[in-house]
Structure 1
Amino acid sequence: MSEPDLMTRLLDAAALHVPFDGWSETTLRLAAEDAGIAPGLVSAICPRGAVDLALAYHAAGDAAMLKRLAETDLSALRFRDRVAFAVRVRLEAVEDRELVRRGMTLFSLPPYAADGARALWQTADHIWTALGDTSQDVNWYTKRATLSGVYGATVLYWLGDDSDGQTRTWDFLDRRIEGVMQIEKLKAQARDNRLVSGLMAGPLSFLSRIRAPQPGAQTGMPGRWNGPN
């Protein structure tokens, strides 16, 4: 078996300290000491300090979710149930809810709010991509924005859920997704309504110029504008 990489070793060590000290510089220092990682190497893999460690923890949860999704046959499920399953798998990848709670506290701070929003968006993007989404227009954004809202609300509910097996959380998740499906049905009906489509064609024509980000693109905000500057 190969040796765990530096970040994995750091995260494993940090898990013992986060419940007491949060995703803080204290946790980062103690985790480095426990893992026997030199300060210079810690600065190299966490140049922004503890926030990079918290983001790495979130990314590791996404990776665990993607691995399980890749290993699971979802063909028998309705699409809405596939989305619900993916969100549930993401939450089940968490071994200690306190680590997520402390992360929510960190990302609620103004300096890190954008990092938290980006991490949430990336989770939604991973889910849609894993489930085979091929949209290339404005729907690429609306799908991820909607799922980000569903996932974020579900996490907050899950953090306070003490029901056996978190059954109340999964019921909450099903209700949120059912609401999203109703919105998607209304959108489809609006697109099929020729009168509405004709009236809104002019005001909403700019939406046709919005495109999903190109593969591998590194931008501050995902996406591109397919029109004049």
Structure 2
Amino acid sequence: MDDQSVKDRLLDAALMHVPFDGWSQASFDAAVADAAVDPALAQATCPRGAVDLAMAYHQRGDDEMVRRIQAEDMSGMRFRDRVTAAVRLRIEAAEDKEIVRRGTTLFALPQYAGDGARAIWGTADRIWTVLGDQSDDVNWYTKRTILSGVYSATVLYWLGDESEDHQATWAFLDRRIDNVMQFEKVKGKLRDNRAFTTILAGPLGLLGRIRAPMRASDDMPGQWPGSQ
């Protein structure tokens, strides 16, 4: 049995315990017992125990989101509507609010905040990638940074939303996307303003040298041209 199979087995077993015990050592130990996995193998596969399972759960949600996006016919949608639909599909892929709530609690802890940020960034990256984003400059970063903020804010709203079919959440998401589109319009106007571009010629030139990271590497941020 390979590492991924072991992790999937542990995660499946842990999900019934997480709503009660959180992403904790207790949940991890119970999953090991329920899945009949050798404790040494479980520890080798998930050195950080339940934290690794929480990250695996988020990854599973991202995978399901991509599957749902690819199954949708978005050819007739405006691009902003495709992004909105992708965020909604990602949230709907997480069917159990309490499991997600436990995850937000875990990743709010200082020692795991970096993991949480990495997970959210990964979701934003996969949305842009599956939607066909071709940017390879500073826009690669700004798109993912902004969408990370939209996604995380919408998840927090969804966790407290008791409206029918989460209609309040989807309205909240639409407003956040509208805010982003307004910001993009302002950026476009500034780029077309000759006086503005002249004043900031130096900083804009520096930003123009930024490139997206190579896909063969997990390193972030990206790289400077000629740095390889």
Question: Smaller-chain TM-score range?
Answer: over 0.9
Runs of 4+ that moved beyond 6 A: none
CA distance in 2, matches of 1:115, 1:29: 21
Over the matched positions of the two proteins, sequence identity in percent amounts to 61
Question: RMSD in angstroms over aligned alpha carbons?
Answer: 1.3
CA distance in 1, matches of 2:221, 2:40: 32
What SS does the aligned partner of 2:94 have? coil
1:27 Cα deviation from its structure 2 partner:
0.4
Contact map agreement 2:124 2:147 (CA 8 A) in 1:
yes
Is residue 2:77 matched to residue 1:83? no
Is residue 2:155 matched to residue 1:155? yes
Is residue 2:226 matched to residue 1:224? no
Match of 2:109 in 1: 109
Contact map agreement 1:150 1:177 (CA 8 A) in 2:
yes
Residue deviations 1:94-152, cap 9 Å, x none?
12110110000000001100000000000000000011101011000000000000000
Residue deviations 1:156-204, cap 9 Å, x none?
0000000010000000000000000010111111111222111111233
The runs of 5 or more residues in structure 2 that have no matched partner are none
What SS does the aligned partner of 1:224 have? coil
Is residue 2:198 matched to residue 1:198? yes
Match of 1:12 in 2: 12
1:90 Cα deviation from its structure 2 partner:
0.4
Residue deviations 1:1-28, cap 9 Å, x none?
xxx9222221111111001110011101
What SS does the aligned partner of 2:203 have? coil
**TM-score (norm: length of structure 1):** 0.94
Match of 1:126 in 2: 126
1:227 Cα deviation from its structure 2 partner:
6.5
CA distance in 2, matches of 1:80, 1:72: 15
Contact map agreement 1:62 1:123 (CA 8 A) in 2:
yes
What is the count of residue pairs matched by the alignment? Answer: 224
**What amino acid maps onto 2:223 in structure 1?**
R
CA distance in 2, matches of 1:49, 1:35: 14
Contact map agreement 2:80 2:177 (CA 8 A) in 1:
yes
Contact map agreement 1:141 1:212 (CA 8 A) in 2:
yes
Residue deviations 1:9-65, cap 9 Å, x none?
211111110011100111011011111111122112211221111000000000000
